Structure 1
Amino acid sequence: MAEDQTTQPNLVESTPVEDEMATPTVSSEIIHPGSLYGIYRQGTVLAITEHVPPKPFRPDYYDPSWHRSPADREEVAATGQLEWCLKCPQIETQPKEDAQQHSLTILGTLSVGYSRRSQVFKCQLDGNERIYVAKAFDPVFSMEYPADVTWAVDASYSTEAAAYEDIKSFGYDGKFSPTYHGSWTFNLPISKDASPEATSPNDARPVRMILMEYIKGLDFDEIFQVKVESLLSNDERLHLLNDIFKAKACLQFAGVLHRDPFPRNVILCGSSSTATDATTDPRAGKVVIIDFEHAVATRRPNCRYPAPREDRPINPIYRYWRHCPVEWGCLAPEPFFCNYGAWQRWMEHSWMNNPAFCQPDGMEIVPWARGTRVWFSEFE
């Protein structure tokens, strides 16, 4: 990855460093960047508390009856982004008993600034050496404005937390996605100049966050910016394609449909970011899928599209038999991308009759020129 609950506010900044925030892209009269500029920066220390995320509620994929509808854009725009976040804060859930608390220090930014869905940064807890990635869902910086930003970030937070929780409960934690280290909340002063000793709840606003394992490596968008053949042999490229197909199939079996499995969201692990990394990193040469902000947790009882109850993951041959997915064309060496016959022979060699995977009802392998039923076609 390239670098780029207490009721009192608890933002403490160390010695000032070069500001890493992106220049605001919205009106300063609306968002007051002078007061909030530079919150997510190297050296910032936050007091975080374990948090119970709300169940996912995006109305296009879940029954949203338990949650309010988003406010009209005109109402939000007339209020202003910061003022709306104070007027209509994020969802409060039942506090977790014996909730853990930690001191989080930001080590460096990965994706921060105004007009983003989330603030992503590297961090450490309590001064320990272990490095994590934190993803903060802060409506004050949300790109969704002038839509209902608190509704939007709660939807993203609840969606991603549900995906990681279900992956972990299924026993796949850290196998095909980063190890999940829970959901958290922290308070920020409304104004950067507010006194850290302020006791009034009106002086602070809550922000939700998830914490994940830091994955060392490159995403495939970065790899594709150079000649992929200079980094990976043909055999390695085909091996990685199989790893990607397997990871997606297993995550779907766990009840998590990613819905955005493009190269930018798949990391090739290892210090040299190749499939032949010779370091002691046990993950070297493996693929890890990240960013579950748009995922659907299909095993949740309120999901509109429940997962098929197969006894094993669906064999990737039934999804990718016809041809290589276009988004992964740079990874497929010739003749496998352009020659459908060569692709199908390789798929048959790699996946046919693999006992770890199943053939779902109603799906079959057919010649490339004929139509093939696609599982979960409404998501693809």
Structure 2
Amino acid sequence: MPSPPSTVAPQLQTWRPPTDPDKPACPYQTGFTIDIKSHTPPAPFGGRDYGPGTRVVVPDQALRSLKQTELVMGNPPLRTADPAAPRTHTLSVTHELAVADGRGAQLVLCTITPKVPAGQAAFQAVAKIYDPLYYSFPNKDVPSVPCDVTWLADEDYSREAAAYEHLQSIGKAGSFAPRYFGSWTFTARILIDKTTPRSRPVRLILLEYVRGPSIRELCPAPPAAATFDEAYRLEVLARVLDGDAKLRFKGINQRDLAARNVLLNYPPGLPPAERHTMIPRLVLIDYNISIVYARTKRKIGPYHGTTLPPNPMQIHWTNPLQEFRGWIPAEWEAAPRLRQEWLSKRFGGKNMASYAPITAKLEFAK
């Protein structure tokens, strides 16, 4: 039987990023040093909760006719009012944490040396840099379609800055989330046609460097079960689910609860052999798709007016928690009832008094 004719236009099948000789190699390597200035991030935008905001999306047809450098130079980040008390620091990269062309936001460990106001001590921080020149120009799911990387970078920046501002205001930055050292901008320079110097603004945020592995890093090989017994792993999971529920109650949904986004922050100097018995500080990271309910179009979230956080049992009753595969018991995947029984035991009974009443009927899987 012959294949049906393609419904995809030829240009959708054949587009590839054009050669871009003006685009420099990703510069965010050890030794990179630049002055950064405090910045007021734009209001969070994107998706049905926040809405489109004021950022104009470059039309698809226009994207297809541009090089990434042309797109970025012609569509700078959203402008906002200057901070009331501007600050200037020097950022020096000491280690690359997650740096690659096409990755999206770049993550680097830095030394931050305050310049204005003077007299403050240097400190260590993680810089998350939203440089659209090093976002993936091809859509990662459909490579034959270009992405407006300038829109994506601004969306990530606006959402993550809003999230950390909110986390700081509710006292979670520095406990279940990293400490937040503010939003910043710097001027990057580029040479066009190898002769004409141009400059462009780049946005970033500064965060606490949380030492310790993610749950995902502990899972591959050897299996997590080889080092951490099931009781330990499930206690960590329970605290993560509880922390997430409390964030939702306090007005923020991280929306990407996964093993790669939970860090285990053990005390400095703790011998590795003792890690399997001590529950460390657990830190949830990565808020670029989060929702701060008070800043959405509706201004309120699903837990507005409640006096206690939602019960994790209700939130995750039908969630297979596959993002924690390798950490959760392997048999949960084939027998969802086992996961539900654990949820009921961990968050039911007397523990239900710590949470809002369950409003849905929870039925065990068969």
4+ long deviations beyond 4 Å: 192-195, 271-276, 334-342
| 1:36-68 residue CA offsets vs partner (Å, 9 max, x unmatched) | 22411101111011111001110432133x414
Residue 312 (structure 1) shift: 1.8
**1:301: how far off?**
4.2
Whole-Å Cα distance in 1 between the matches of residues 199 and 226 of structure 2? 51
Deviation at 1:304, TM superposition (A): 8.0
The match for 2:4 is: none
Q: 1:299 deviation in Å?
A: 2.1
Residue pairs, 1:268-347, within 5 angstroms:
268-270=264-266, 276-277=274-275, 285-302=280-297, 306-309=301-304, 310-321=306-317, 324-333=320-329, 338-340=334-336, 342-347=338-343
Residues 52 and 183 of structure 1 are in contact (CA less than 8 Å); yes or no, is this contact kept in structure 2?
yes
Q: TM-score, normalised by structure 2?
A: 0.81
Give the AA of the match of 1:105.
S
Structure 1 residues 79, 165: closer, same or farther in 2, change over 3 A? same
Q: Does 1:77 align with 2:64?
A: yes
**Is the partner of 2:127 in helix, strand or coil?**
strand
1:108 is displaced (CA, Å) by 0.9
Distance verdict in 2 for CA 1:301–1:323, change over 3 Å: closer
Q: Which amino acid aligns with 1:160?
A: E
Q: Distance in 2 between matches of 1:69 and 1:273?
A: 52
3-state SS in 1 of match to 2:294: coil
Question: 1:203 aligned to 2:201?
Answer: no
Q: Is the 8 Å Cα contact of residues 243 and 286 (structure 1) preserved in structure 2?
A: no
Aligned-pair CA distance for 1:32: 2.5
Match of residue 366 from structure 1: 363
* Amino acid across the alignment from 1:30: D
Q: 1:342 to 1:29 in 2, by over 3 A?
A: closer
Change (3 A) 1:273 1:169: farther
Q: Does 1:224 align with 2:212?
A: no
Q: 2:229 aligns with which of 210, 233, 243?
A: 233
RMSD of aligned Cα (Å): 3.1
Give the deviation of 1:184 after TM superposition. 0.5
State the number of aligned residues.
332
**Farther off after superposition, 127-136 or 306-315:** 127-136
Contact 2:26 2:134 in 1 (8 A): no
Cα deviation code 1:199-256 (max 9, x no counterpart): x9x7311000011111111122221112111221222111111011012111212222
| Long gaps (5+) in structure 1 | 1-25, 370-380
**Which stretches in structure 2 are left out of the alignment for 5+ residues?**
1-15, 115-120, 139-145
Q: Are residues 1:29 and 2:25 paired?
A: no
Residue 158 of structure 1 is matched in structure 2 by: 158
- Give the structure-1-normalised TM-score: 0.78
Distance of aligned partners of 1:344 and 1:148 in 2 relative to their CA distance in 1, 3 Å threshold: closer
Measured at CA, do residues 327 and 253 of structure 1 come closer, stay the same or move farther in structure 2, by a change above 3 Å? same
CA gap of 1:80–1:312, structure 2 versus 1, over 3 A, is same
Task: Identify which of 98, 113, 118 aligns with 2:105.
Answer: 118
Name the CA distance, whole Å, in 2 between partners of 1:304 and 1:265: 27
Deviations 1:125-184, CA, capped at 9 Å, x for gaps: 118663211100001111145322211110111011111111111221122111111110
> 2-side partners of 1:63 and 1:45: how far apart?
36
Q: Spell out, residue by residue over 1:82-119, the C-alpha distance to the aligned partner (whole angstroms, 9 max, x if none).
A: 12222111101000011111111101111112112111
Cα distance between partner residues in 2 of 1:335 and 1:86: 52
Deviation at residue 319 of structure 1 after TM alignment: 2.1
Question: For residues 87 and 72 of structure 1, what CA distance do their matches in structure 2 show?
Answer: 13
Contact 2:36 2:89 in 1 (8 A): yes
Aligned to 2:256: 260
The answer (yes or no) to whether the contact 2:248–2:303 under 8 Å persists in 1 is: no
CA contact (8 A) 2:22 2:193 kept: no
Deviation readout 1:325-378 (Å, 9 max, x if unpaired): 222242223666655554444323321243332125x32333334xxxxxxxxx
Q: Secondary structure at the match of 2:234?
A: helix
* Percent of aligned pairs with the same amino acid: 28
Q: 1:210 to 1:275 in 2, by over 3 A?
A: farther
